Amino acid sequence: MPPSTIKSKKRTRQSAGPKPVIKRAKMNNGYKVTLDELDWKEVSMPDRLDDVEGFYGLDEIDGVDVQVDGGGRAEYKVNNLAKVGKGAGKNGKGKGKGKEEKEGVSNEDEWEGINSDEDPGKEVISKKVQREKKKKATPTKSEKRQKKDKRSKSRDSELGGSFALLSDEDEDIFLPAWDSLNLSLPTLRALSKLNFNTPTPIQSSAIPEIIAGHDLIGKASTGSGKTLAFGIPILEHYLSCPRKSSKTNGGKEEGDKLPIALILSPTRELAHQLHAHLKALAAYAPDMSIVSVTGGLSLQKQLRQLTERDGADVIVATPGRLWEVVSEGQGWIAKLRRGLKFLVVDEADRLLQEGHFKEVEEVVNLIGRRDAESDSESEGGGGVDQDEYFKRNSVKRESQVQVTERQTLVFSATFHKGLQQKLAGKGGKKGLGGDLMGEKESMEYLLKKLKFKDKAPKFIDANPAGQLAERLKEGIIECGAMEKDLYLYYLLLRYPSKTLVFTNSIASVKRLSPLLANLSLPAHPLHSKMIQKARLRSLERFSSPTSPHSILIATDVAARGLDIQNVDLIIHYHLPRTADTYVHRSGRTARGADARGVSILLCSPDEVIGVRRLVAKVHDPESLSTARYAMRSFDADRRLVTRLKRRVELAKKIADCHIEKAKKGHEDEWLKAAAEDLGVEYDSDDFTGDGGGGGSGAAAGKRGKGRQKRRETAATATKTEVASWRAELTALLKEKVNAGFSTKYLTAGNVNLAQALVNGEGMSAEFLGLEERRVVDEVGG
Ligand SMILES: Nc1ncnc2c1ncn2[C@@H]1O[C@H](COP(=O)(O)OP(=O)(O)OP(=O)(O)O)[C@@H](O)[C@H]1O
């Protein structure tokens, strides 16, 4: 191998003076050799490494010592003669010079020094050539950048302008677990940035099917990554296909771009979250426009957003607001019909439940499907009064626009295991926690409700054994109906953590939020009667990573789909009304790869039967018959609870007082206005009396009367009384509550509840022991 061509990563064959004669001498500790005699090996490069930094085509060798003699000349020495003898082969380099040299190696031991007959000029030239070659092979930084820009630009046009954003860090993307899905660089880049190193089971099974063009029904437990299971294929489609425009002029695309995907969500909060999640995924597809269309915010603003930046590519919508948008007659029906490649129904069982489906059905009918187009117009929308809509000329005109070929994707954590039928009151004995509505029935149900492209959409059940996250611990605290506030406070104080408390009524949210605030706990309310901005504000505050112990008091508006990081504890202040609500509420914790979480039911004695039914519905019958029983009794420290009693009483009184005064003020104003209208004089005493307080009606009996009395006391409490309660409470809150035998102090505690439960803390005997399990069998039927 001529020295000019030699470069090595490990030991580079540098110019070692004039070309040595092939001779060797046995030395003390090895054989002297020349460079060309060595058995050089080509450096193998990884297949995908295109920028080789000048190392391409190098040879290397090991096991050779280099020594510099007194005259500054290099000498090469091997211990093992097997290293030599193959000579300078390939292209005049190293290998395979053949027999002649091999023989030379085996026979020649004697070192005769270096032959200096070589032309020194040749050496100078070869050094120069070597430098030049190296320079060529090792691009400068600016050359590298230019090369990358060029490469990026050429792919950029293919992939939607996203490569411009790619940086040197791309070389660090290492996501082998995603390899088989063959995703584009912008998608991988986003996954790498999100630190999603491995696809979840629903992602690895659903993504290839969707990319292959199938309709799909996907079921996977809460928090298992369903959003990206449909989000990634949508992004891949966006990156790989040129977008169509809303108008064509002689075959030329003109006007706004058409949306490619419509994602329907049952709640506003979930829609906003899906929007944020998809945006994070599309971080390296900066031109992709994702717009959320939900109630509670300005319709005009949302209409504007839909046409900004050349038009929306992906629309995340609640069905009601979407209907308002299409009714505006700005050509949205036609755009959706022509553009949509994907219709996604997220939290499908909720959206498709009787009573909720009408709006979805209206949307589905209007955006139609190519081969069902004539059906959709003639069948009258399956009971929907389409005439009313079609009276609007624009809607009718738009509805005749041809529909593009589209995939329908349906996702939920629950539509297996018979939940819908049980919820609809059709559950019978035969289905104890089992499969009343199995795969076949689920499919029939959905096929009936949605217009799929495929006759048999793919059904993927990523968690056939259950809907609840694997790392979820479930517990129950039995307490008196009137003690729930106290036990709630105990849990929140004893186990400070990010906690979501679910109630069954807006009134309870309104009552509990100030009560907990009086107890100096950071509680935020969330219910459907709050204005949208306040809803989002509460969610933001609760979600903030800087408030690891924040509390959200919510109705079931927060039960579905919300993905808030690091929620540790779910407390069901009221028993969920349905089994699927329990699954979805509890699914707000233990989300994502390794997350753990705890779900605790506060259960009064008259709710125990309901809990048993619930357990039977959501847990596999097999788990009921094994020792690993799912729902256990949580053993609260009753002495501590007792010590907290006075605090809760005071906080309650103060909260009730504020609520009642605010209500009274409101009522007074209303009555004053009514009296003025009637032309009579208003005297508040004339308008107060027994039985006027709403409450829960006569059936509430004693409890209703007690509540009424408390309200009256609260409403009539003087400022001084309230001030004295507040002073007493402040003093109590400053005191540390000694946790009895334990040395822990509640207010200083920072116990990881999930860990505590895993360690067995707080757990007594199984909630439903053998005896109880028999009852489950009887009841759960
Ligand atoms: N491949 C992944 N690796 C790690 N985390 C992931 C991965 N995919 C999604 N996640 C994270 O897991 C969490 C749950 O994801 P997502 O909200 O999509 O769940 P889901 O299945 O839709 O839940 P639900 O049924 O409650 O709506 C999110 O925080 C998401 O960012």
In this structure, what is the dihedral angle of CA atoms 212, 217, 222, 227, given to the nearest 10 degrees? 40
| CA separation for the pair 535, 710 (Å, rounded) | 29
DSSP string, 75-122: EEEES-GGGBSS-S-GGGSSS---HHHHHHHHH----------S-HHH
Buried b (16+ CB within 10 A) or exposed e, 547-582: eeebbbbbbbbbbbbbbbeebbbbbbbbbbebbbbb
Nearest in space to 232 (alpha carbons), one of 207, 261, 209: 207
Does ligand 1 have an atom closer than 6 angstroms to the CB of 399?
A: no
Q: Show me where the domains of the chain are located.
A: 179-240+257-368, 472-636, 637-676+713-735, 737-780
Please indicate whether residue 593, judged by its CB atom, sits closer than 6 Å to ligand 1: yes
Q: What was the pLDDT predicted at 521?
A: 93
| Residue 347 alpha carbon to ligand 1 centre in Å | 13
Query: How does pLDDT run across 137-153, given as a tens digit for each residue?
Result: 555 555 555 554 444 44
**Phi, psi (deg, nearest 5) at residue 346:** -90, 150
Instruction: Report pLDDT for 140.
Output: 55
Ligand 1 pocket check for 196: Cβ under 6 Å? yes
Cβ of 139 less than 6 Å from ligand 1: no
Cβ 461 under 6 angstroms from ligand 1: no
Parts of the chain with a pLDDT under 70: 1-172, 242-256, 352-356, 369-404, 415-446, 464-467, 593, 620-631, 663-708, 710-715, 738-781
Report the residue among 563, 564, 570, 586 best suited for mutation to probe ligand 1: largest number of ligand atoms under 8 A from its CB: 563
Question: Is the shortest distance between the CB of 382 and ligand 1 below 6 Å?
Answer: no
How much distance in Å is there from the Cα of 752 to the middle of ligand 1? 22
Q: 483-488 — which CB contacts under 8 Å span 24+ positions?
A: 483/641, 484/573, 484/602, 484/604, 485/512, 485/515, 485/648, 485/652, 486/641, 486/644, 486/645, 486/648, 487/602, 487/636, 487/641, 488/512, 488/516, 488/571, 488/573, 488/602
Atom 13 (ligand 1): residue with closest C-alpha?
592
DSSP character at residue 71: T
How do beta strands 290-293 and 245-249 pair?
Answer: unpaired
Q: DSSP per residue over 625-642, as a string?
A: TSSS-SEEEE---HHHHH
Q: How far is the CA of 221 from the centre of ligand 1 (A)?
A: 10
352, 345 Cβ separation under 8 angstroms: yes
3-state secondary structure of 603: strand
Cβ–Cβ under 8 Å, residues 648 and 514: no
Nearest atom in ligand 1 to the alpha carbon of residue 563 is 17
Q: What angle do CA 552, 553, 559 make, to 5 degrees?
A: 85
Centre of ligand 1 to C-alpha 200, Å, is 8
The residue whose CA has the least distance to atom 9 of ligand 1 is 225
Q: Is the CB of 588 under 6 A from ligand 1?
A: no
What pLDDT is attached to residue 520? 92
pLDDT confidence of residue 683: 54
Q: Evaluate whether ipTM surpasses 0.85.
A: yes
CATH of 179-240+257-368, one of 3.40.50.300, 3.30.9.10, 3.40.50.1390, 3.90.76.10: 3.40.50.300
Enter the tokens of residue 221.
């437990």
Class of domain 472-636: alpha beta
Cα of 224 vs centre of ligand 1, distance in Å, is 5
Nearest in space to 457 (alpha carbons), one of 516, 510, 408, 416: 408
Q: What was the pLDDT predicted at 58?
A: 47
Q: What is the pLDDT of residue 715?
A: 65
Question: Ligand 1, atom 23: nearest CA belongs to which residue?
Answer: 223
Query: What pLDDT is recorded for position 657?
Result: 85
Report which ligand 1 atom has the smallest distance to the Cα of 199.
1
In this structure, the strands spanning 499-502 and 41-42 are unpaired
Give tens-digit pLDDT for 75-127: 666 665 555 544 433 333 333 333 333 333 333 333 333 333 334 444 444 44
Atom of ligand 1 minimally distant from the CA of 592: 12
Q: For residue 122, give both structure tokens.
A: 């040749």
Q: What integer pLDDT is reported at residue 76 of this predicted model?
A: 62
Whether 179-240+257-368 and 472-636 share one fold: the answer is yes
